[in-house]
Amino acid sequence: MAQDIFAVPVFFIVFRETIETVIIVSILLAWLKQTLDGPNKDQKAYKALTRQVWLGTGIGLFICLVVAGGLIGAFYTLGSNTWEQHEYYYEGAFALFASIIITIVGAALLRVGKMQEKWRLKLAKALESPVQTKKKGCFKHFAEKYAMFVLPFVTILREGIEAIVFIAGVSFSTPAKAVPLPVVVGLIAGCIVGYILYKGGASTKLQLFLVLSTCLLYLVAAGLFSRAIWYFEEAEWNKAIGGEASEFGTGPGSYDISKSVWHVNCCSPNYNGGGGWGIFNALLGWTNSATYGSVIGYNVYWIVVILGFIAMRYKEVKGHWPLRKAKEAPAVAEYSSSGSSNDLPSDRAKGASVVREELKSS
Amino acid sequence: MASSSHRWLSPAALVSSLIASALAKTVNYDFNVGWITANPDGAFEKSVIGINDQWPIPVIEADVGDQVVINLQNNLGNETTGLHFHGLYMKGYNHMDGPSMVTQCDIPPGSSFKYNFTIQQAGTYWYHSHTHGQYPDGLRGPLIIHDPDNPYQDDYDEEIVLSVSDWYHDHMSALIPWFMSRVNPSGAEPIPKAALINETQNFKLKVEPNTTYFVRMVNIGAFAGQYIWFEGHTIQIVEVDGVYTQKAEAEMIYLSAAQRCSFLLTTKNETDANYAFVASMDTTLFDAYPEDLQYNVTGWLTYDEDAGFPEPELVDEFVDFDDMNLIPEDEEELLPEPDREITLNVAMDNLGDGANYAWFNNITYTIPKVPTLYTALSAGDLATNAQVYGTWTNPFVYEKDEVIQIVINNLDPGRHPFHLHGHHFQAIYRSEEEAGEFDPETAEFPDRPMRRDTLVIQPDGNMVVRFKADNPGVWVFHCHIEWHVVSGLMATFIEAPLELQELITIPDDHRAACDAQGISTTGNAAGSEDFLDLSSQNVPADPLPAGFTTRGIIALVFSCVAGILGVCVVAWYGFADAGKLAHPSGAQPTSLAAVKEGAAAQSSPAAHNDDDIQVVSGSGGARA
């Protein structure tokens, strides 16, 4: 009876996608609150950045509703599902992009615990200056200025479209009236988790919160990176078998044996909504069918992150990057994959003074 | 070869008694097997396997009691070959039956090979390569044994041979590697491109008015069963697979791959119109329904070349004659209760190489290192021990004249035409679709069961056949969908092996075929003279891992360690105090947070030279 109005797989899909989104959104909001909100902090920047987060979320949600609506419409009218044909490529690209952004933003967020003031000022500065079109600093500047928009935007776009397509897929085998309730319940449950995260985050000691949330973000990002590779491989596999591997459920044929590192015929994060395994997948990157690519990707991701943080720490302590000579006059900004950490003392001093002036003037 | 002399019948005595039974003549064929090009469906020109630069290949014709001698020369150049004479008992001629690595070695390119046997039965048969899925490339044709004692000889005026078949544009040597690969995990059989009648399309069969024809219809296809009907004419079935039946009127028949059906067809009095007849491939066998699939093929009973050839009418549904309703003309009774019952469960499953294999009782047929017949002939008294034939040939050893009952449970949702070499079996039970496994409690057997050599089982259904093990030899039992022969849906019956040892001597040219390929003509399935030692037998791929393997566990542990380590490093970095920031250039710490946290106010501002950095670095590490 309950199954007639409450499709459990739909609930899990929505819940899991919502959680993935709200983790990002609530951490960002909590971070902004901790960093910028308060009597003697930058209210203006706080409001602007909070607005960016919500704007990113809202616009992302809107676009994904439009796109997914279009896809489903096209599926029902054309009979062929172009999304499904390229689904894994899209998923992989989104996941890769999200992983990279989370990695960069994660490092940036963490540094705030150490140089909170500088970052607050920097953000404020970045917000107020127009986007520069100068060659080198252009992307970085853009990313700084709109990071708070881009991250939730990309996240919700990915999760939202994924959720809607998954639900469309699952609901072929479910009565239509069983869909709305679990969607609503899943959304509410996810938002509650997000709110708790936000509340907890906003009231915990700043550094502890930052460390914990960043750890969570990196776990998610590592999973996303690994999944991005998995998606690309699965797309290739679908092409190789000339059909839909998902038709094989979780059994033989649902994966490419030649690339498999482990496979268990259960516990799939995708099959029939994924259930708890889907949430496990969203948080920690679990898969029931690991490939060489996804396992190596996961490990390489962590090695790069570990090395990146060690290097950043090294630079904090030594003043220059590992394997580089300490510069006599370190005036040139350097870039690295972990990003945002090339603040040289001279810049820093300058920036601080500039912002101090700005603060005075405001 | 014969290892003992206490047997009851010498081969010479048997052969001479058979020959004496008819006014025997010898029918000689020289078959030069080679590639030629053909385009039977008008859609694609392809190299096909022809005989004597001819394709379609010739119909072999003989009378009961004739000696047939076929000198085969393999001029294919790039492929080995062989011939199997489908449906012939080959009693005393097991080594002439033809399946590769069962009763002979492949015939290598450039060599010749003689098939020499006595015809012991009348009826409609066919011959084809039984070597690594080769016959759909063209090496397939009818084999007709005319019968001076045909019980219906007064009922007809003329004989006609018609074949139906399916046609691929790619060679089997190209299709099989894809079919048996990890990228075809469902074991989807390649779908034919077209159906053919007499290996062509739009076949115009010239008929005379008011004449009764004995039409011998053979499905020489690789895969597709075919529904066949004649517009404006009814037919009377009189023979299936070489067994005469009581006359049975039919509107439409179904012929699986390898089945035959002969029927009487009486033409009309008028010659003012021609009539279409259609063979329509059973598309339920196919995994997909490509848009360019030509699943129908049309021929015409041609009364008058100038009368026009009408397109066939559409049929609403296929209502084919159920062959289980046939009664053999000789009214042979149901064999007595079986001495042995074999149950074969049919399933499809994947192995560790990702490919999909076909299974009888958890065994997928894998070729032995020595042809099974040669093992039987060289094993001495151990020949009655099934073990010597190997695990993966799925061997069953029967004693002479035992009544054998085979129960087949189809656990697969597809139809399969099962064929037994060397026998006509009694088809005593066949369930409807989805009936599940055979239930002996509810099944009722007919008194005079239909006999044939190829019988179709329904999807997820079951069937039972019975035969007498009165034909010493090695006879394979397999699905006649050639794809399933390739994927292993085959079992080996070794019938009265000790009697067999007395009957057969391997001819020199048969031995030479093995020698040329380095294949032993003695020894067990593993090629070992220690007949119970199977350690080096051919085995299928390893099974799919059931779950985590060592590799998977290591990978998972590494990933967990990497994740935990990563999280630790992130935490270390996050908690490491930026207030201890030092720089050789002597910049002042600017982080207000660090000052606010106040954790390290006492040590950091002094970091003015390189010596201090070491200290700071050390303390930072300690905090992590």
CB pair distance less than 8 Å for B593 and A330: no
Give the model's confidence band at A276: pLDDT under 50 very low, under 70 low, under 90 confident, else very high. confident
Q: Is the pLDDT of residue A345 over 70?
A: no
Which candidate, B452, B444, B387, B388, places its Cα nearest to that of B418?
B452
Query: Residue B56: is the preceding peptide bond cis (ω within 30°)?
Result: yes
* Gap between the Cα atoms of B336 and B163, Å rounded: 36
Nearest Cα of chain A lies from the Cα of B410 at a distance, in angstroms, of: 20
- What's the pLDDT at A75? 61
Closest Cβ–Cβ partner in A262, A284, A312 for B555: A262
Residue spans of the domains in chain B: they are 550-623
Q: With a cut of 80, say whether residue A278 has pLDDT above it.
A: no
pLDDT at A194: 83
Q: Which residue has the higher pLDDT, A248 or B247?
A: B247
Q: What is the largest CA-CA distance in chain A?
A: 76
Contact B237, B321 (CB under 8 A): yes
The per-residue pLDDT for B622 is: 34
B 186-215 residues with CB < 8 A to A: 186
Contact B570 A302 (CB under 8 A): no
Structure confidence at residue A184 (pLDDT): 85
Do A330 and B585 lie within an 8 Å CB cutoff? yes
Yes or no: say if B88 and B122 are a contact pair by the CB < 8 Å rule: no
Give the per-residue pLDDT at A69.
Answer: 75
User: At residue A68, does pLDDT exceed 80?
Assistant: no
**C-beta separation of A161 from A68 below 8 A:** yes
Tokens of B233: 């004419």
Rounded to whole angstroms, the Cα distance separating B165 from B170 reads 15
Is residue B299 within 8 Å of residue B197, measured between CB atoms? yes
Contact between residue B565 and residue A302 where contact means Cβ atoms under 8 Å apart: yes
Residue at token pair 């394997």: A323
User: Lowest-pLDDT range, A114-123, A313-322, B120-129, B173-182?
Assistant: A114-123
Radius of gyration of chain B (CA): 33
Tell me, what's the pLDDT at B587?
38
The minimum CA-CA distance between B296 and chain A, rounded to whole Å, is 26
Q: Do A118 and B613 touch (CB under 8 A)?
A: no
CB-count exposure of residue A76 (10 Å: 0-12, 13-18, 19+) = exposed
Task: Please tell me the predicted confidence (pLDDT) of residue A356.
Answer: 39
ipTM, two decimals: 0.73
pLDDT band at A176; cut points 50, 70, 90: low
Distance in angstroms (rounded) separating the CA atoms of residues A354 and A348:
10
Q: Do B574 and A113 touch (CB under 8 A)?
A: yes
Question: For position A39, what pLDDT does the model report?
Answer: 66
Task: Locate B247 and state its tokens.
Answer: 């006359």
How far is the alpha carbon of B391 from chain A, nearest alpha carbon, in Å? 24
Sheet of B26-38: strands edge to edge? Answer: B46-51, B26-38, B67-74, B112-118
Q: What pLDDT digit, counting tens, does each position of B15-63 carry?
A: 444 544 546 899 999 999 999 999 999 999 999 999 999 999 999 999 9
More confident residue, A34 or B70: B70
Tell me which residues of chain B, numbers 338 to 377, contact chain A at a CB-CB cutoff of 8 Å: 349-350, 352-354, 356
Q: How far apart are CA B406 and CA B462, in angstroms?
A: 11
Decide: B220 and B318 in contact? Cβ < 8 Å. Answer: no
Q: Are A107 and A339 in contact (CB under 8 A)?
A: yes
Domain carrying residue A219: 2-361
Spatial strand order in the sheet of B252-255: B203-206, B296-302, B275-281, B226-230, B252-255
Number of domains in chain A: 1
Residue B2 pLDDT:
38
**pLDDT score of B611:** 37
Highest mean pLDDT among A255-264, A324-333, A351-360: A255-264
Q: B139 with B56: CB under 8 angstroms?
A: no
Residue A130 has pLDDT above 70, yes or no: no
B538 Cβ contact list (under 8 Å, min separation 6):
B366, B367, B368, B369, B390, B392, B525, B526
Q: Which residue has the tokens 């105090």?
A: B577
Q: Which residue of A has its CA nearest to B583?
A: A319
What pLDDT was estimated at residue A121? Answer: 59
CA atoms of B97 and A138, how far apart (whole Å) = 80
Asked if B190 and B483 touch (Cβ cutoff 8 Å), the reply is yes
> Which of the residue ranges A265-269, A309-313, B161-165 would you say has the lowest mean pLDDT?
A265-269
Residue type, B391: T
Say how far apart CA A1 and CA A7 lie, in whole Å: 11
Closest CA to B469 of B439, B500, B447, B443: B500
Q: Which residue of A has its CA nearest to B183?
A: A241
State whether residue B574 sits within 8 Å of chain A by CB: yes
Helix (H) or strand (E) holding A33: helix A8-36
Q: Rounded distance, CA A108 to CA A290, Å?
A: 31
Q: Which residue has the higher pLDDT, A81 or B408?
A: B408
Q: Which residue has the higher pLDDT, B582 or A226?
A: A226
**In this predicted structure, what is the pLDDT of residue B94?**
96
Q: Does B178 touch chain A (CB under 8 A)?
A: no
Instruction: Give the CA dihedral B542, B543, B549, B552, nearest 10 degrees.
Output: 90
Of B46, B47, B88, B44, which is closest to residue B70 (Cα–Cα)? Answer: B88
Residue A250 is predicted with a pLDDT of: 78
Below-50 pLDDT ranges, chain B: 1-17, 19-20, 22, 579-624
- Residue found by looking up tokens 């090629």 in the block: B527
Cβ atoms A281, A179 nearer than 8 A: no
Q: Which of A180-184, A324-328, B188-192 has the lowest mean pLDDT?
A: A324-328
